[in-house]
Structure 1
Amino acid sequence: MQPEPAQNPDTVAGLGEFGFIERITGGRPQPSTTLLGPGDDAAVVAAPDGRVVTSTDVLVEGVHFRLDWSSPEQVGAKAVAVNVADVAAMGAVPTGLLVGLACPPTLTAEIADRMTEGMWQEASRAGVGVVGGDVVSAGSIVISVTALGSLQGREPVTRSGARVGDVVAVRGRLGWSAAGLAVLSRGFRSPGTVVGAHRCPQPPYQAGPEAALAGATAMIDVSDGLLADLGHIAVSSSVAIDVWAERMEVHQRLVDVASALGSDPLHWVLTGGEDHALAATFPSAAALPPGWRVVGTVKEGSGVTVNGRAYERPVGWEHWR
């Protein structure tokens, strides 16, 4: 009988499943909403509202991230950010994260440590903890995060509440991640501001609950492109939305990058995904919380237009298309 080959202690296989779990969760601080954290069959998270907002996203190596483009910390932070942004888009405050990590057994412990460190850092920025999850072996890295949130007694802000006469407003950056992807796709690594925006988005987490308190009628996380995601609000609310191009914020850095690459910076702003800004409708401009900016209006009809006309180019990202 042949002895089993020795495991490399510097890999996740060398750490073993339970050693790896202890390594990434042991000693980490948890918010007050975590009543029972990692280490048991399931976690216990406080839900004083009586309702739990929940959302799941899956990030796949080679589709959503590349380790030759992003650091492990940035990949981990991105996995958290894209999920907590969805909770914020419902007007909720995050209360817990469940992380599923599939990776090759040869993944080095250093990369795994750095990836999970990025998760914890972004979770801390969002005011939430990783309360549990699972790790399994796979041929490539796949990260699945489920975010939990509390409405704190408020009604959820859905996609179906927009009304004719509402204003459309956004909070957060738009077009930066698309510009960063364009730069990376050309083989460049700078300017760092746009490349960094693609590697790790910075959603305005607090803006979701603030919008809910201000009376937002509908809201969505801009993950696939502003026009595409406003299209979801238009369909769900049975309304039309018109975006005003002249109201869109096109930063000079995007203009400079687009000029160098022969691209259109406004197209990035209107259709670029993965910035995870928030878009919402409000009864009036006077209702907007600080930091939100009006970019359009809700009208009778259907679909999304730009300056009253159909947008002739692709409006955003959709898997399998």
Structure 2
Amino acid sequence: MSFGQQMLFFFSVIGAFNGLLLGIYLLFVKKLKHIPDFFLGLILLTLSIRVGISVCIYFYPDWPRIIPHLGLSSLFFTGPALYYYIRSSFLREQFDLKSTRKSFGVLTLILAMVGLLYLIFPITWDTYFARFIYGIWTVFIFLSVYEYYIFSKKDAKKPAQFILPILVSNVIIFLAYQLMSTGLIQVYCAGGSLVFSLVLYGNVLILFNNKNRSVTVKEESKYSNKKIPDQQAENFVSKLERLMNMEELYKNPNLKLNDLAMEMNISTHQLSQLLNDNLGKSFSTYINEYRIGEACEKIENGSYLKFEEIGYEVGFNSKSTFFSTFKKIKNTTPLLYKQSQITSEPRFQGLDL
């Protein structure tokens, strides 16, 4: 392999490797805490497998012929993953995960049946198997674009800064592979891998910039002298409570105001205004009340954990912070609170005579 080929191999495979790591993280580390991230992880994982195998086959063509078809099989799920990423990103709490699992089960069964058919009749494999995979991918790309258009039209005020770059990136990768498969671009496998690498890192830069960008002066002036309307505030509070109760975001010891604002799809200034003006609490007080509330439940239920372990479990990052916050909110210590619960329990049940 020449130096030029080595450089081409390096830049082609590095995106696949990083995409694979990121996909595994989103799928198996974060799990289902945030459903859109799960489908994003599946997109990255399937594309990375396809890209990685394509690169290896391009530079090492002597590999068994079954290997490239495994790459095509992983690509089969890229389109459905994108489609459900779009739907779950917009629907959020209303997204039906159970029916989605059934859909993926049906898709897996279809892939297994088609793969078995082509294994029995290998003469048709090279001709039709790739067409079948790309056909499914094409259908779901169009469905994803259509779903994005419909949801954006229904809820035009809802920001889609994370959804749109991912949709556009998938369309670019799809079009690149389609053009290369027609022979218009000769360097097929390595070319598609390079496109994937460039798009992946471009996306990372966009999302990183959006996530860490502070509120601009324009946004500050927009909301500084404007109180949130009562109806809108009620909706925000309801959504905030759902995030706390269902996703238990307060258990994250590194949770920050801008992280919670991103989950609610509002600006940090709006969230701060909501907490201070409508709930009369600071961000730290609001989060710590949830943490201490759950700590009290664990103490009342006779948890076998030590007090400091309870503190870590509910979201505090140090023993001293947990004890001082408990004292501030409950006006007592965890030990005295536990003793008060024991003494308040009835020692025997009276009998009605």
Q: Which has the higher relative contact order, 1 or 2, with Cα contacts under 8 A spaced 6 or more apart?
A: 1
Bigger radius of gyration, 1 or 2? 2
Question: Which protein is richer in strand relative to its size?
Answer: 1
Structure with bigger helix share is 2
- Superposed pair shares fold, TM > 0.5: no
TM range (shorter): under 0.3
* TM-score (normalised: structure 1): 0.25
